[in-house]
Amino acid sequence: MKKSLDFTQGEISKLGYISTPVCNSIDLPKAIKKLKKEKNAVLLAHFYQDPSIQELADYLGDSLYLAQQAAKVEADVIVFAGVHFMAETAKIINPSKKVLLPDLKAGCSLADSCPPDDFAEFKKLHPNAIVVTYINCSAEIKALSHIVCTSSNAVKVIESIPKEREIIFAPDKNLGRYLIKETGREMILWDGACIVHEAFSFEKIVTLSKENPTAKFIAHPESESPILDVAHYVGSTSGLLRYVQEDKSTSYIVATESGILHEMQKRCPEKTFIPAPVEDDTCACSECAFMKLNTLEKLYTCLLYELPEIQLDAQLMSKARKPIERMLNLGRS
Ligand code: 13P
Ligand code: SF4
């Protein structure tokens, strides 16, 4: 068996994960549970992960819940089954822990839509504005922000800012537009978006709703305005999950990454959940390809070799920590 030292940082960053043959007779869920114990590791997983990974999680939730849990972890190792900005956030708020991400290439189109140099220039155009950034951004962008938010607490974060202050909101223009409507606050928006939530088709959703007249349509606020305007409920992944449990209807058309349907079906086995249709019938566009880069096999090798590890510059972490802490101190909505 190879040792961790046999893998160079260059190799790992090129591929994104540890590439080594895994014997196909291994019972991966069992081996992962055993490694978690041996390494004193906790597994944090987002609702968009493959169900096989969600089932192994010590903590399963939305970005806010996972950030809150990451801050409290006492174990030696955090394995983050999510995307890069989530693991990075965990490292920033709990820097003494070893934070592992099964595939370093598990990025995020929203985070990528906001390059730090361009954002720094944009910020200079509005020197008096308070900068609010959605957690789906890089550590460099967080370091340029006053406060971070997630889709669970964005309204609360915006409302915590004095009325007379100008606000820059980045990187998601769709969430930004939704927040302008919800809070009545004008905001200067960065032009970023999520490829998964922008793939939903308004026309097909309307047609599907007509075919299923008793189904309620629910959506994540990263979706485009016309879609949000026709939704019975708009909320973060945990908000959507809460809604389907409390609401009396028996079927729902769900406009967010389809991984959430696993937990919805588990919590409401008698209800029907239909993934919202996307423009392009030939792709699995309602799946986040970044989230789905994590696999059981990569999770296993990641725990075994304790690689790939999130490593960040101490100064950058200290700048990015303050806006995250401001958000955590405000709590949920
Ligand atoms: P949540 O904040 O609802 O977990 O959403 C995270 C995300 O990446 C949405 O695309
Ligand atoms: Fe990023 Fe969109 Fe994937 Fe969420 S679903 S991680 S916003 S690309």
The pTM assigned to this predicted structure is 0.96
Q: Which stretches in the chain have pLDDT values below 50? A: none
- Shared-domain flag, residues 79 and 59: yes
- How many structural domains comprise the chain? 3
- Shared-domain flag, residues 21 and 91: yes
Q: Closest ligand 2 atom, CA of 108? A: 1
Q: Where are the beta strands (DSSP E) in 173-317?
A: 188-189, 216-219, 233-234, 251-255, 272-275
- Shared-domain flag, residues 102 and 8: yes
Residue 330 lies inside a defined structural domain of this protein: no
Structure tokens given for 228: 């949000």
- CATH code, domain carrying 242: 3.40.50.10800
Half-sphere exposure of 105 (CA within 13 A, CB side): 13
- Shared-domain flag, residues 22 and 100: yes
Residue 176 lies inside a defined structural domain of this protein: yes
Last residue of a domain, one of 162, 195, 228: 195
Residue 281 lies inside a defined structural domain of this protein: no
- Shared-domain flag, residues 252 and 213: yes
Residue 25 lies inside a defined structural domain of this protein: yes
Q: How far apart are the CA of 1 and the centre of ligand 2, in A?
A: 35
Provide the pLDDT for residue 270: 98
237 Cβ closer than 6 Å to some ligand 1 atom = yes
The 3-state DSSP composition of the chain as helix, strand, coil percent (nearest 5) reads: 45, 15, 40
Characterize the bridge pairing of strands 188-189 and 216-219.
Answer: unpaired
Pocket of ligand 2 (CB under 6 A): 83, 108-110, 136, 194-196, 222, 257, 288, 290-291
Provide the pLDDT for residue 19: 85
Ligand closest to Cα of 66 equals 1
**3-class secondary structure, 228:** helix
- Shared-domain flag, residues 149 and 171: yes
- Shared-domain flag, residues 213 and 303: no
- Shared-domain flag, residues 118 and 70: no
User: What is the distance in angstroms between the CA of the first residue and the CA of the last residue of the chain?
Assistant: 48
Provide the pLDDT for residue 208: 96
Residue 320 lies inside a defined structural domain of this protein: no
- Shared-domain flag, residues 13 and 98: yes
Last residue of a domain, one of 195, 227, 260: 195
Provide the pLDDT for residue 283: 81
Residue 319 lies inside a defined structural domain of this protein: no
Q: Is 110 left (phi over 0), alpha (psi -120 to 50) or beta?
A: alpha
Structural domain of 253: 202-275
Residue 331 lies inside a defined structural domain of this protein: no
- Shared-domain flag, residues 180 and 207: no
Provide the pLDDT for residue 332: 60
- Shared-domain flag, residues 99 and 9: yes
- Shared-domain flag, residues 9 and 102: yes
Residue 175 lies inside a defined structural domain of this protein: yes
- In whole angstroms, give the CA distance from residue 199 to residue 224: 9
**3-class secondary structure, 46:** strand
- In whole angstroms, give the CA distance from residue 281 to residue 142: 36
201 Cβ closer than 6 Å to some ligand 1 atom = no
Last residue of a domain, one of 275, 301, 328: 275
Q: How far apart are the CA of 126 and the centre of ligand 2, in A?
A: 27
